[in-house]
Chains A and B, each alone.
Chain A
């Protein structure tokens, strides 16, 4: 609650929060099927129809309503982004804590493996994973999660390592707190701040990566829609039907902008060191 109030008193947090909130509402409406038209319905007589009162954002090659598809696309893109970031964050937390806590051989192995994943070109890694497993929503989620896991692992391991050596952990140990208790309570509290920021920024990347994969035809499968898929489909039609490019293009920009603004605000609020620089 306190955090929410802080976000809304922060100028870019307010805008970012509003955008993300709006998108989440749109995504939920899209998911529930509360759209101007059925996003899958092909109004074949109105193919490539320019925007008007009936079709607010025009229709596509099949005569499907672009506005409705955009809503469905936002929900699809959000599902992939949220699910993959959640997965990456959980994996990153587990691996990062394990590396920091056990140290030594464990630390070396885990971190070298993360180095391998980091050094591997991200889009190619995602591409290979999808080609192996076969495309689909959950494959995209998994592929994006694997690509972003090393980042979370690093974010967690650093602070965890420095906290581990601090006195209060030792003190807790001497007072007989169990190992699990120390891990969850003390370390998590001190990790929440950097993680929250990282999660928000990663959501922006998740949207971006999903769009990139769908753009290459490897993400969301038709006839479902996602922002990247809509952009890919507009590629050869943009001269005949520019609305197919412009609306999803702007939608994806604003969506990512929302997460970026929110991420910035959270960084300012949660990290006292940078608070003064962008009030």
Chain B
């Protein structure tokens, strides 16, 4: 452990202690929202963190240039307006002149430039860097204008900029090396204290340029077990909670004083096959698996029907009727025929990996899939792994099949370029690529006309479902549960809790 890191932490401890002392004096207001979730943030650096749980927290503290609304349309955040040049190679933003960081400094084009340069700097270790590699240079011609010069037209980049991984942070904090230890953003809430895996205390930011927050603050408790969250809701110790497990969520409406809201999300449940391993190298075998799986049945059993069967494209603007895709109607006879064609009429054995508790339904999904595939002679061994072990195994592509819940994006290119392009970063995990997929992805990347893009990606989806490197299953919901006196929360398919800015706690 470096000495400088130690020092950074030491200052942040002093900082946190000072804040702790300050907040202790302020009496707890009735307007504070008491919230609970089961998974805590893993860190405070908006450019580095990629876990859902971290993003949910950081979205309340930091702001990107633009954000997505509940209909996944791009709306202003720090930027008032933006436009692409004719050739699609310059992207210009006008900043909100009122925007201020929580340390009182104005948000300037220099901060934007410094933030993106930090993301692009390999020494930062920002996983989101891959989305922004077409940025060649950044100009700051005046007090409110930022110009991104791109090496090629890059339509999906604007969508990538809506993520908190593209948050604008103060240039002075980058200089001081305190990003990740102090959370100083320009967002609706200030992070007063954070006890990892225990709680965080947020207070409303009165200087937020985006409007007025209706609560004084949010106290978040981390309750590792969702049954405990349900208990806390029932005993009114928590006003608002995030729930992942559909089995727990479906119990919420049983309580008269509680409300459950659910929104379909972009993340998709999938059975990943590994086409580099025998016999999944055979397209017929992969197709047989696709035909043998009854997606609706897996959904009904493992998630109690809480979700909708989907093809690869999960965003509402691109989503199509999955019934039209290859073998989305279960067809065991066809599956057996395909197995026989490939020379596997007697079936084969394979191992499927799944992460314990991530998603909470993983073990159940694996077991239903196992029983369905047994019907065409495929004998599956289930290996449940601790999440981190699973991730390590997954990244090495060291599996026959994997039950996964993969994150979705509002743009199909940003969502899938890592897997289904020839130089995708995770091509060694996907282990399947063909010219059709690659060229459709490249076409989609540069096309600016929405209808044409939609057509391109519809072809992409049809082809992907047919060659079946993976078996897309369904999308689930994001759940929030709240007491009836909590009003105004608007959920979003991205799962963001930004809607908390509109929330008020009544009597």
Contacts and interface: CB of A to CB of B under 8 A. Distances in A.
Question: Real complex partners, A and B?
Answer: yes
B368 interface: yes
Interface in B197-253: 225-227, 245, 247-248, 251
Interface in B170-195: none
B476 to A, nearest CB: 15
Contacts of B251: 239-240
A223 B386 contact: no
Interface string B332-367: 000000000000000000000000110010011011
B383 A135 contact: yes
Contacts of B225: 235
A191 interface: no
A223 B367 contact: yes
A237 B226 CA distance: 12
A135 B247 contact: no
A242 interface: no
Given A236-B227, A237-B247, A131 B382 contact: no
A221 B356 contact: no
A222 B301 contact: no
B370 to A, nearest CB: 6
A235 B245 CA distance: 12
A189 B75 CA distance: 83
Nearest to B246: A236
Given A235-B227, A236-B227, A239-B251, A61 B364 contact: yes
Interface residues on A, range: 20 to 34
A61 B248 contact: no
Contacts, number: 60
**Chain B binding surface SS class:** helix
Nearest to B245: A236
Interface residues of B, number: 28
Interface string A230-242: 0001011101100
Contacts of A236: 226-227, 245, 247-248, 360
Contacts of B360: 236
A214 to B, nearest CB: 10
A239 B254 CA distance: 11
- Chain B CB within 10 A, most for which of A221, A236, A239: A236
Contacts of A44: 297, 301
B371 A135 contact: no
Nearest to A48: B304
Contacts of A217: 356-357, 363, 384, 386
A145 B381 CA distance: 25
Interface string A39-76: 01010100100000000000001110000000000000
A33 interface: no
A131 B386 CA distance: 7
27 contacts: A42-B371, A44-B297, A44-B301, A61-B302, A61-B364, A62-B301, A62-B364, A62-B367, A62-B368, A131-B386, A131-B389, A134-B383, A135-B384, A217-B386, A218-B386, A221-B383, A222-B382, A223-B367, A223-B370, A223-B371, A233-B363, A235-B225, A236-B227, A236-B245, A237-B247, A239-B251, A240-B251
